[in-house]
Amino acid sequence: RHLLAGLAEIPEIEVYGSLDMNNRLGLVSFNIKGEDPHAVSKRLEAEFGIMTRAGIHCAPQAHQLIGTEDIGTVRVSFGWANTIEEIDELLMAIRKMM
């Protein structure tokens, strides 16, 4: 919820999937408009130490549905140990990349 709210404040971000928290899992797929998701993922790791995945995530039909079959998305996955502070670090990193 915290990540989705933060991403919604950044106009260059496109989030994929339901915004209804009852219909979400512990992951968020997004793109920065005009940026290659693989390059975004690599920058997040190299410059900020934040690990994400980029691509079609073994789900080509899902990417056809959302129109990202040619580029994929950046995917952030969460576990029980992730903190709000880590999400804030990710949001800050994304803003710095703009």
- pLDDT tens-digit profile of 48-95? 999 999 999 988 998 998 999 999 999 999 989 999 999 999 999 999
Number of continuous H segments (helices) and E segments (strands) in the chain = 4, 4
Residue 48 CB neighbour total at 10 angstroms: 15
Report if pTM > 0.75: yes
What pLDDT digit, counting tens, does each position of 25-53 carry? 889 999 999 999 999 999 999 999 999 99
Instruction: Report the 10 Å Cβ neighbour count for 2.
Output: 13
pLDDT at 39: 98
